[in-house]
A and B are shown apart, each in its own frame.
Chain A
Amino acid sequence: MMVTVALFGVLTLVALAPIAIALSAKPNATGFVYGACLIVTLILFLLALHSLLEHPAASTITLPLGLPWLGAHFKIDPLSAFFLVVVNLGAAAASLFALGYGRHEESPQRVLPFFPVYLAAMNLVVLADDAFSFLLSWELMSLSSWALVITDHRRAENRRAGYVYLLMASFGTLTLLLAFGLMAGGDGAYAFDAIRAAHPTIGTAALVLILALIGAGSKAGLVPLHAWLPLAHPAAPSHVSALMSGVMTKVAVYGFIRIAFDLLGTPQWWWSLVVLALGGVTAVMGVLYALMQRDLKRVLAYSTIENIGVIFASLGLALAFKAYAMDVAAALALTAALLHVFNHSLFKSLLFFGAGSVLTATGTRDMEQLGGLIHRMPQTAFVFLIGCTAISALPPLNGFVSEWLSFQAILLSPQLPSWGLKLMVPAVGALLALSAALAAACFVRAFGIVFLGRPRSSEAAAAQETDTNSLAAMYALAATCLIAGILPGIFIDALAPVVQALTGARMPVQTGAEWMSIVPIAESRSSYNGLLVFAFMVITGMATAFAIHRFASDKIRRGPAWGCGYPDASPLTQYSASSFAQPIRRVFGSLVFRAREIGTMPPPGSRAPATLTVQLRDLIWDFAYAPVANAVGLIAERLNYLQFLTIRSYLTLVFAALVILLMVLATWP
């Protein structure tokens, strides 16, 4: 029943595409398409929320589509219900934001038809219950988002982003195809139920895990498969960027969880070693890259990579606990991962919306051209600040809760018997702690440079506050961030059926705890109460303000800022985005990016300007991608002469190929 309604919703979304094409010349097409998307995704969201909270029995349906002997299976179980909630909440927020933002679109006909299809495809991936529909939906998701990435195809960098994205997406789908092929075996038992029933050998399972990690990880942005992400996510229109970063990466995480926790059965302990290491490295690399960027949307895209690292690190921990049948600990780690999935989808969408509003207001994403926007866009600044606080894992907002749960899970891990994990887990813990601290630095920089200080360009000085619909979407997300931060128990309890289904255990019921605290294991061990922390901060802050204004002084005078005696300093003397990152670049960058600063000082008396050049190398690109690209180019060049042969040579080649294939077939065991 549930799944039928959900598929109808998806069908409506798909049907919106031709309508959008027909309408796209009309002035109110934008409003119609995004309005319809908003309504449909809201219905889907409520439906998914109902399945998750009331958890009725899994609802399935088999349609006579796709492979003739298989049909198309769809299903809503707790895991897919949770991810449907994430997808449709993000989609609804993006549609609401786009009701305002989309009006500034230069060529709406390049966005409107693909947007609903993209939403439908993400829903379908989560709904699919057999490998064939899963891969088909996955590919649809990749292609529709690719079309959205090259919306602004006149800019060469966007075309390149689209090209790299397409390559990486095909590569990811290929590995997933192989993974599912291995799991389904020779008989083509592609239904997930059949895959679950089959027990792969240890070797096959390991191979499947690696392939799934590559396939899902490349979509999610795991280092070193992340190279496309910071190119593609910022290139799309901002509401699509929000969906790609906030939601699509989560669909990729869903793919990994589905394969590693559900389809493959009991994990081996060393799988977790790989996942943990990749997660930890991704978290730190992602945020270090983010700190070096000056394009606001690219900062956000790299920070997505960081958060995916955090999620995968928790998933790796959950795998480790599951391998040793420590179910309660596995439940804690998995809850941390899923809660972070939810949280990140909220604040990353919020931040991309904010970046979109800034882009509309000023026409630039370059942080060095912005500044002082808090005066001209006070509401956007306020919600963006909430997003920044949340993503920096600061209490009392939601990012901290999932981070805190991950740390609590790490503190349970000395009981793991394997030596590899005993050494790996504390190292990953340190990496997570480092990434959290660097994320705070990154978002002080992002908010401070863009919204605080004085405007660095005339566009920034003339910016206007964004429209009501965009603000409504951002306020809604910011409010959810706050609620999830101060009442996390409700959200943890909602995740219980998902965690129960995947690990066989769940965290203790939280909503009954005194004063709405969250207590992962026992109160004597650890507890956190976001509500009280928030209440204490607000009450003491307000009481202090009241007392001081009442009894001491409430007078204010304005005067120029202290400029060391040099009057009217230009806004260019402010700290810029790159100068703010300089200390961190100096501490971490010389190792990670081979950062070098080359300064030239003209001789005394010369009037030439002094210059400072900063060189950063993307070592992952240089050592992992460039050699592959060069090799492909070289081979293509060598094989080029095959295009200019005579007809006789071609016939000979065809004949030779035929003979070789026949020989292979004849000798095949």
Chain B
Amino acid sequence: MAVIYDFALQGAQMLLVLLMAPLLTGFVRKVKARLLSRKGPPLLQPYRDLLKLMRKDVVLADNASWLFRVIPYLVFATTWVAASLVPTFRSGLMFSWTADLIAIIAVLGSARFFLALAGMDAGTSFGGIGSSREVMIASLAEPAMLMIVFAIALIAGSTQLSTMAAFMNSAEVGLRVSLGLALIALVIVAVAENARIPVDNPATHLELTMVHEAMVLEYSGRHLALIELAASLKLLLYVSLIACLFAPWGISPAIIAPAALMIGAAAYVGKLGTLGFLLAVFETAIAKMRVFRVPEFLGAALMLALLATLLRFVSRGF
């Protein structure tokens, strides 16, 4: 019985992230529009877009190979798996030990690897420019992310997200310099990884400074729907990650009490709303960077995270 219950909870988390992801994207768009005094599309517009894209024919480039058709499913599946391994409303789920935080980052790395390959498949310079910039950004964002993981793991004594969340929720944590540095670095990495302003602009097409959108330019129909859904899931993943590491309040530990679960779910929705709102404000307040200023931006994240890790090595107090 308990197994079935655990299984159902894990399934619920998978469904929850899948259903919430477009809503978060829609919410950020809406808030951004309101901040710019526009009315903005309705909150549910991303769902409608996805359904519309799903029903449309796929138009493949003449030169596209089998890999190009497989990649959307691969990217979607890997991102979804990664997103459902991050604790949202309850920690210690049935499969939470499948991958620790390092492995989750690497699973996302797999998704990016394949997406970058897809950009090069059609044989146009747009795909190439997107892929080559994407891997350049990743080559700095990924080590920065790993150093952030190191810093937090050294404080929590674990790379297991459930254990980390439980530790961050306990009184043992306190205010630490290294945690502060890690948080700043994590925000920078999250912005870059999700192709948000100031690193990239998710709203533009056919602009020379774009990265992610150039890479997926040749996708259409259901393939594009999957890629967009994967992008929403990734945004949700990073928001959940920040929430679970730095605002773990309300995540119910492994107690089977419906009330605790409801509180956890409500807290999760609240956290998504808050962080999504902050993201929209941040994006509205800042201008997009030139692409070669991005390495400096991410280099700062790498250095901050490295500093946080070094502090942990040097002294247990920081």
A558 contacts B160, C-beta separation under 8 Å: no
Per DSSP, are chain A's interface residues mostly helix, strand or loop, or mixed? helix
Q: Find the A residue at minimum CB distance from B14.
A: A540
- From B125, B147, B291, contact of A430 by CB (8 A): B147
Contacts of B154 in A (CB 8 A): 411, 414
Chain B residue contacts of A569, Cβ below 8 A: 124
| A-contacting residues, B131-186, CB 8 Å | 131-133, 135-136, 138-143, 146-147, 150, 153-154, 157-160, 163
CB distance from B104 to the nearest CB of A (A): 9
| Residues of A contacting B44 in the complex (Cβ-Cβ under 8 angstroms) | none
A444 near B306 with CB under 8 A, answer no
Contacts of B107 in A (CB 8 A): 395, 533
Asked if A312 is at the interface (CB within 8 A of a chain B CB), the reply is no
Complex Cα–Cα for A587 and B163 (A): 37
B97: interface (CB < 8 Å): yes
| B306 adjacent to A553 (CB under 8 Å) | no
The digit string for A592-631, where 1 denotes a CB below 8 A from any CB of B, is: 0000000000000000000000000000000000000000
B125 close to A561 (CB less than 8 A): no
Contact of B55 with A553 in the complex, beta carbons under 8 Å: yes
Contact bitstring A548-559, B, C-beta under 8 A = 1, else 0: 100011011111
Let me know if B116 and A561 touch, CB within 8 A. no
Interface residues of B in 303-318 (CB under 8 A from A): 306, 309-310, 312-314
CA gap between A536 and B96 in the complex, in Å: 13
Judge if A155 is at the interface, Cβ distance under 8 Å.
no
Q: Smallest distance from the beta carbon of B228 to chain A beta carbons, Å? A: 13
Q: Which of A15-23, A90-98, A385-393 contacts B (4 or more CB under 8 A)?
A: A385-393
Residues of B within 8 A of A545 (CB): 73
**Interface status of A491 (Cβ within 8 A of chain B):** no
Which of A400, A448, A536, A573 touches B117 (beta carbons < 8 Å)?
A448
Q: Please, which residue of chain B has its CB at the minimum distance from the CB of A536?
A: B81
Query: Contact: A563 with B98, CB < 8 Å?
Result: no
| Contact assessment for A526 and B159 in the assembled complex, using a CB-CB cutoff below 8 Å | yes
Contact with B along A443-484 (1 / 0, CB 8 A): 111011100111000000000000000000000000000000
- Report A654 CB to chain B, min CB distance, Å: 62
Q: With A569-B124, A574-B124 given, is the CB distance from A586 to B60 under 8 Å?
A: no
B110: A residues at CB distance < 8 A? 389, 394-395
Q: Does the CB pair A525–B160 fall under 8 Å? A: yes
The secondary structure that dominates the B interface is helix
Q: Is there a chain A Cβ closer than 8 Å to B95's Cβ?
A: yes
Give Cα A400 to B99, complex, Å.
12
- Cβ of B109 within 8 Å of any chain A Cβ, yes or no, is yes
Chain B's interface size range is 35 or more
Q: A429-449, CB under 8 A of B: which get 1 and which 0?
A: 110011011101101110111
Give the docked Cα–Cα distance between A411 and B100 (Å).
Answer: 13
Note all chain B residues with C-beta closer than 8 A to A178: none
> Are B81 and A525 in touch, CB under 8 angstroms?
no
Contact of B81 with A533 in the complex, beta carbons under 8 Å: yes
Chain A interface, number of residues (Cβ within 8 angstroms): 88
Which listed segment binds B: A227-235, A331-339, A369-377?
Answer: A369-377
The closest CB in chain B to the CB of A448 belongs to B120
CB under 8 Å from chain B, chain A span 561-576: 561-564, 569, 571, 573-575
- Interface residue? A43 (CB, 8 A): no
What residues make up the interface of B, taking CB atoms closer than 8 Å to A?
54-63, 65-67, 73-74, 76-78, 80-81, 95, 97-100, 102-103, 106-107, 109-110, 112-113, 116-117, 119-129, 131-133, 135-136, 138-143, 146-147, 150, 153-154, 157-160, 163, 206, 217-218, 221-222, 226, 291-292, 295, 302, 306, 309-310, 312-314
Sample (21) of A-B pairs whose CB atoms are under 8 Å apart: A394-B109, A395-B103, A407-B146, A437-B109, A437-B140, A440-B112, A445-B132, A526-B102, A526-B158, A533-B81, A533-B99, A540-B81, A557-B57, A558-B60, A561-B124, A562-B218, A583-B136, A583-B291, A583-B292, A586-B292, A587-B295
**Residues of chain A whose beta carbon lies under 8 Å from any beta carbon of chain B:** 371-372, 374-375, 378, 381, 385, 389, 392-395, 400, 403-404, 407-408, 410-411, 413-414, 422-423, 425-427, 429-430, 433-434, 436-438, 440-441, 443-445, 447-449, 452-454, 517, 523-529, 532-533, 536-538, 540-542, 544-545, 548, 552-553, 555-564, 569, 571, 573-575, 579-584, 586-587
